[in-house]
Amino acid sequence: MINQKQGSINNFQLGNKVLILHPGYVAGKLGVVCGQECQSSQRWLIRVDLEDIVVSLTTQEFHVLNLDGKLHEMSGSNL
């Protein structure tokens, strides 16, 4: 089950574009934040662009992009 909290979540929002860093089979690809896993507050569901897959990632495994496609600095995180 997906926890689709509305509004800001860890300095990003549902629907934000992200650059995936890990795991290797999707590293370097873009994705979209779909929601937070219900059973884990540490993991986020990311739909991978141009692929038919959703991956479960921690915030250390992706970078949030601004609307202009540039990296968004997440406060309090060493990404």
Domain ranges of the chain: 2-64
Q: How confident is the model at residue 40 (pLDDT cuts 50, 70, 90)?
A: confident
Across 24-51, average pLDDT: 94
CATH no. for 2-64: 2.30.30.30
Across 58-71, average pLDDT: 81
Stated pTM of the model: 0.72
Tell which residue, 52, 53, 55, has the closest CA to residue 44.
Answer: 55
Please report, rounded to a whole number, the percentage of residues in the chain having pLDDT higher than 70.
71
Alpha-carbon distance of 41 to 58, in angstroms, equals: 9
